[in-house]
Amino acid sequence: MAVTEASARTVEELRDAWYQQEVGVEVRTFWSETARRFLRSKAGVGALIVVMLLVGSAILAPVLTSYDPLLGNPTERLQGLFSKGHILGTDEQGRDMLARLLYGGRLSLAAGFIPPLAATIVGTLIGTWAGFVGGVVGTVLMRTMDMLYAFPAILLAIAVGASLGPGLMNSIIAVSIVFVPPLARVAESATREVVIQEYMEAARLSGAGRFMLVRSQLLPNVLNPIIVYASGLVGVSMIIAASLSFLGLGSQPPAPEWGYMLNSLRGSIYVAPVVVALPGLFIFLTSVAFNTASDALREAMDSRLD
């Protein structure tokens, strides 16, 4: 079987090379075409630049600021923007806001990336199993997903987070559990559409086993809608994780996480409203950037819009 696959790849590569040489047209892959269409979207490219700047600033936080995000000075509490030595002011304990926002980006971005990634893996396994194999196990799994999907996301996250206890890791687990049902439903729906296609039947008649069908025919065709849907959950994940931290179920003090910073600063809203609004502004900006990039990716992956 491995020899056959290698031969098939070689024949396909030779065919593409001949076509390019004879016709003079470059053979583009699906992902290269997706990248080309994505780069034509000004909004998508702008959003991607914002995301890269946010991720880069979080990674390079020790280089961009010399302040310790956990150490404060009570004599410098709630200073405004562009105060002496503090570009973005200080919080209620005299800690530098720029340092806390940069270091807090590490926790907030982790809470945005990890749940959709983990839920994509679990939800894809559940959805493809239910759509391809089916049976009693698949039916039970999907009915369980439907039951969880009936609850509003934030309420389910609060319930799971309260059951697990406070902490960043527990809030990530809670948000991951919330995202599994919709991703499983997307995977199951896409799988049911693929399994009835003629190329799946042709692959079965050619003698391909179940594993080969899933690897070579099923997954490449169901991953596109899953990836698009999962990419749109990053911004939602950040908002839910920040909400859990705001309620005391996420990051605990003195961790510089944007949701917790909103909670700790809310009592100072009438004293330094601009400083209090900064964590919320970062959450909003990051969420909008991820959602805009996700919309651009969805359009780029749809060849019908070309």
> Does the pTM of the predicted model rise above 0.85?
no
Q: What are phi and psi of 96, to 5 degrees?
A: -65, 125
pLDDT digits (tens, 9 = 90+) for 146-193: 888 888 888 899 999 899 888 889 999 999 999 999 999 999 988 888
Q: Which domains does the chain show, CATH number per domain?
A: 40-305 (1.10.3720.10)
Q: Is the pLDDT of residue 2 over 70?
A: no
Residue ranges of alpha helices (H) inside 206-272 are 210-213, 219-231, 233-246, 258-265
Q: Which two tokens stand for residue 147?
A: 């039951």
Q: Which two tokens stand for residue 257?
A: 């996480």
pLDDT (average), residues 24-32: 62
Contact 303, 31 (CB under 8 A): no
pLDDT (average), residues 38-67: 91
Could you tell me what percent of the chain has a pLDDT over 70? 89
Other CB atoms within 10 Å distance of the CB of residue 249: 24
Using DSSP's 3-state secondary structure scheme, residue 210 falls into helix
Distance, in Å, from the CA atom of 257 to the CA atom of 253, rounded to the nearest integer, reads 9
pLDDT (average), residues 226-254: 88
Q: Which two tokens stand for residue 138?
A: 């698949």
pLDDT digits (tens, 9 = 90+) for 272-291: 888 889 999 999 999 999 99
Q: Is the pLDDT of residue 14 over 60?
A: no
Instruction: Give burial (CB, 10 Å; 0-12/13-18/19+) of 264.
Output: buried
Query: In b/e form, how buried is each residue of 61-94, taking b as 16+ CB within 10 angstroms?
Result: beeebebebeebeeebbbbeeeeeebebbbbbbb
Q: What is the pLDDT of residue 204?
A: 74
Average pLDDT, the chain: 83
Highest mean pLDDT among 78-87, 111-120, 261-270: 111-120
Label residue 215 left, alpha or beta by phi (over 0 means left) and psi (-120 to 50 means alpha): alpha
Q: What is the pLDDT of residue 131?
A: 84
Q: What is the pLDDT of residue 1?
A: 43
Q: Is the pLDDT of residue 306 over 60?
A: no
Contact 183, 230 (CB under 8 A): yes
pLDDT (average), residues 52-72: 91
What is the distance, to the nearest Å, from the Cα of residue 194 to the centroid of all Cα atoms in its chain?
A: 25
Higher pLDDT, 226 or 214: 226
Higher pLDDT, 63 or 202: 63
Residue written as token pair 């959805």: 127
